[in-house]
Structure 1
Amino acid sequence: MDILTEVLGSMRTGRPASVRTEGRAPWGMRLPPVAGAGFHVVLRGSCWLLSPDGAAPRHEPVPLNAGDVVFLQDNHSHVLADDPGTPAAAAGPARFRPGSPIGALSLGGDGPRTTLLCGAYHLDQGRPHPLVRQLPEVVHLETRHGRHPELSGAVGLLRAELEEERAGAAGIVPALIDALLLYVLRAWLEEQPATAVAGWSAALRDPVIAPALTAIHEDPAARWSVESLASRAGTSRATFARRFHTLVGEPPLAYLTRWRMTTAARLLREADHPLSVVAARTGYGSEFAFAKAFKRAYGLPPGGYRRHAAATPMPFAGRHS
């Protein structure tokens, strides 16, 4: 069981939106919050990531160079510019050619050029997974000088596909952007110090907690207890419970319930299984018990959640030309 893949797969609510952005100095664009997570890949040139004009700085200006990748938590606007002193305007609408999954946007003057891939991953915000909650507001990953070779390889492939139109690009580019999110989170986890005593980077490599997490993710419907999970981990109940809470950030059964509800939400969004099937797959013996737990977690009954998910339009539609 690949827990990182499972976590992200359970939270994704649609394909990522993305725009190839060409900025020629001087240029600056203000980007609105997104319901999920924003990302930027610097394909060529350099620029700066800044807090919006007039807003209290949430972070120091971040210089970005070719090959850098930025991942931003939701609900925060931000600015990209060729220079910290360049005024920023709201980003204009991207243009989408028929059949192309990637929009195009050009801005600025006639100075040095920077090429970026900007976009958003649409993530379920009802109950964000604690792994995602533990991320900093800005994850900045550099791929120069041999750092994060797999992420660097993905950036290189994206650059090649976006700079030259070739057969198959419409299928290759979205797949690369999907993979980019996993590369980003894996690279961030691997950057965390091996001496970390808490957090998901520690939990995923811990010989006691990792097997228990794998068991929960492999079979959320099982009748897990703290005792059975501790037995799976090969330790005492008290030691396991204390260690799990320290590393994961919540007690074992609270995490079990969280994962069951996350799994249920994914099943409701992506398939038309009867509620009895969803209940059984997430460890509930009756539709009533499942519906009560689901409403407590998401604020909507399962049927209402499914209807809302089906009726919610995909954001970032763009403008065709």
Structure 2
Amino acid sequence: MPMSDPVPLSSDLIDELLRGMRLRGVQYRRIQTGPDFGLGFAAQPGHAWFHFVAVGNAVLRMEDGTCFALSAGNAVFISHGAAHQLLSDVDVPVQDIDSLDAASLGDTVCAVDVGGESDTASPTIIFNSCMAFELGSIHGLGKLMPGLMVIDAGGQRYPGLMPILATMEREVSAARIGFAGILARLADVVTAMIVRGWVECACGNASGLVAALRDPRLARALLALHQDPGRDWTVAQLAQQCNTSRSAFAERFHATLGIAPLRYATELRMRLASQWLTLERLPIEEVAQRLGYTSQAAFSRAFKRITGQPPGMSRQGRRLAGA
């Protein structure tokens, strides 16, 4: 199978991948500051940080000391939950955000005012959220995503993002009935748009699943797998989706994704199983049936082989973690 120049991304496959992405445990803050502020955000493994500067300016400083100037309309997505700071200036003292008084606006939303009455003439307003990033079948992309993305919400890469962020800001400010539910849905959309924008522009360092998304033959096989994960696929059947030989398909798949096709299929099933068990609380027997296993015992063996623990313990662990 000869190599070819980069081709447009598979829209159908990206649609399928993004449908499986979920956010959970999202906590929101509306932060208003005066002209001088220093806010520290601790590391949150397994989570993502998101900041949107609605009004004013700020400096983002990462753990390694790298700084980025932010202005109104800029957003920051820290996909792996690294510690960082938001500052008015690099020399100001820093306070941990969790140590500051917060006024509850709902179960998942609060307001933090660190400006004081004398500073309200020149506020900076930042919309902040922290969320567990459940990627489901898109899990392979999560490993490739950069730890930090600084986003121009009004730029061409993210058309439509600014109005959604402005709507989120208005929902928090107005605190109308049901606004937390509206925020949760808007947060899903914002995150999906950010992931899509990154995928569209990641061709310069294309590898793994990103490279496969740009390979029209592999994309067809991946789409078939993601649309029907419970089918007992063979390598020959997947190769037929790509109109190529079994050996050429298997070689190209492994060279691009670093994993054999059937191993990818099994890991995909177990990622979906984990999501259905822990987030949707489906019975183990129903999950096994959805994924094409003839018995719950066969599914449990496969789940433990891939994840290292039986499905019942996986669900219990998530419950104890407060999901």
TM-score normalised by the shorter chain: which range applies?
0.7 to 0.9
Count how many residue pairs are aligned between Structure 1 and Structure 2: 308
The 2-side partners of 1:301 and 1:145 are apart by 46
SS in 2 for 1:41: strand
Q: Choose which of 14, 23, 48 in structure 1 pairs with 2:59.
A: 48
Shift of 1:126: 11
- Partner in structure 2 of residue 318 of structure 1: none
SS in 2 for 1:129: helix
Q: Choose which of 308, 313, 317 in structure 1 pairs with 2:317.
A: 308
Structure 1 alignment gaps of length 5 or more: 315-321
- Partner in structure 1 of residue 22 of structure 2: 12
Q: Is the 8 A contact 1:10 1:266 kept in 2?
A: no
**Superimposed CA distance per residue, residues 144-203 of structure 1 (whole angstroms, 9 cap, x where no aligned partner):** 35452222222232233334455653432222122111011111112234x665344442
The 2-side partners of 1:86 and 1:206 are apart by 49
The 2-side partners of 1:87 and 1:246 are apart by 49
Give the share of equivalent positions with the same residue, in percent. 32
SS in 1 for 2:146: coil
- Partner in structure 1 of residue 239 of structure 2: 230
Shift of 1:20: 0.9
Answer with 267-276 or 122-131: which moved more.
Answer: 122-131
Q: Is the 8 A contact 1:20 1:105 kept in 2?
A: yes
- Partner in structure 2 of residue 268 of structure 1: 277
- Partner in structure 2 of residue 107 of structure 1: 114
Shift of 1:107: 1.8
Structure 2 alignment gaps of length 5 or more: 1-10
The 2-side partners of 1:153 and 1:249 are apart by 39
SS in 2 for 1:103: strand
Query: What value does the CA root-mean-square deviation take over the aligned residues?
Result: 2.9
Q: Which amino acid aligns with 2:92?
A: T
Q: Which amino acid aligns with 1:66?
A: A
Answer with 210-219 or 105-114: which moved more.
Answer: 105-114
Q: Choose which of 56, 80, 87 in structure 1 pairs with 2:86.
A: 80
Q: Which amino acid aligns with 1:49?
A: L
- After TM superposition, the structure 1 = structure 2 runs for residues 106-255 of structure 1, keeping only pairs within 5 Å, are 106-108=113-115, 110=119, 112-124=122-134, 129-144=139-154, 146-166=156-176, 169-193=179-203, 197-255=206-264
- Partner in structure 1 of residue 296 of structure 2: 287
The 2-side partners of 1:228 and 1:116 are apart by 51
The 2-side partners of 1:305 and 1:114 are apart by 42
- Partner in structure 2 of residue 28 of structure 1: 38
Normalising by the residue count of structure 2, what TM-score does the alignment of the two structures yield? 0.83
Q: Which amino acid aligns with 1:105?
A: V
